[in-house]
Chain A
Amino acid sequence: DSGVTQTPKHLITATGQRVTLRCSPRSGDLSVYWYQQSLDQGLQFLIQYYNGEERAKGNILERFSAQQFPDLHSELNLSSLELGDSALYFCASSVSPGPSYEQYFGPGTRLTVT
């Protein structure tokens, strides 16, 4: 158990809908990352937050947004969902955003868009 929690574990929804994925980092970790894992794209970095501020942005679609709250938990919002958004979404956290710090991953949220 990494100490990173994600809810829900599974989510099934229809095209055009909006969902929110939630992540709680390990105790003491200030930096949160979101990744998408799919068979065709592999593991893709979406976005990073550090102590409430957006730090780095990756391959995140405009239909997706995220934020980190004062208690350090984070939410990833996915809207106008398409079939191609079906994937495993991981949250990770690290004590610092610096490159030498390993990231600890949550168990993921499996999103299925029908």
Chain B
Amino acid sequence: AQSVAQPEDQVNVAEGNPLTVKCTYSVSGNPYLFWYVQYPNRGLQFLLKYITGDNLVKGSYGFEAEFNKSQTSFHLKKPSALVSDSALYFCAVRDDRGSTLGRLYFGRGTQLTVWP
């Protein structure tokens, strides 16, 4: 069965420090992985995706993510956090097989707080 796990409900980091938001996944076919960010009272904004190829994917606002097939992980990273990065982050996966082809499976979300 397809699923996504975000093991940390909350991540706190000081401004200027590197940040990592963790994500692991499970799919039956080839994974298509996505990160989204949600600010309060707003919709989800697409940050980046992994389809195939280079395991390090670069996205919006200086974020990047590393795909690790053996560990079935897709961790979100940023070298230097900003206070404005504080938000709720969702990892999601899509499968390329069968009747579940269309749907995104989301993790529970990780609340990132960057303090000044």
Binding site for B on A (CB under 8 A): 2, 4, 31, 33, 35, 42-43, 45, 48, 50, 55-56, 58, 90, 92, 97-100, 102-108
Contacts and interface: CB of A to CB of B under 8 A. Distances in A.
Contacts of A35: 104
Interface of B: 32, 34, 36, 42-46, 49, 51, 90, 94-96, 99-109
Given A100-B32, A100-B51, A45 B46 contact: no
B111 to A, nearest CB: 13
Contacts of A4: 43
A105 B44 contact: yes
B51 A33 contact: no
The 5 closest A-B pairs by CB, nearest first: A56-B102, A43-B106, A105-B43, A99-B94, A48-B102
A103 B104 contact: yes
B46 A103 contact: yes
Given A102-B34, A102-B49, A56 B43 contact: no
B43 A42 contact: no
Contact of B103 (A58, A102, A107, A108): A58
Contacts of A106: 43
Contacts of B102: 31, 33, 48, 50, 55-56, 97, 99
**Most chain B CB neighbours (cut-off 10 Å) among A48, A97, A102:** A102
A35 to B, nearest CB: 8
Contacts of B42: 107-108
Given A99-B94, A99-B96, A108 B43 contact: yes
B45 A2 contact: yes
Given A2-B43, A105-B36, A106-B43, A45 B103 contact: yes
B27 to A, nearest CB: 10
Contacts of A58: 103
A4 B32 CA distance: 22
Nearest to A49: B102
Contacts of A107: 42-43
Contact of A90 (B32, B44, B49, B101): B44
**Most chain A CB neighbours (cut-off 10 Å) among B42, B45, B102:** B102
A64 to B, nearest CB: 16
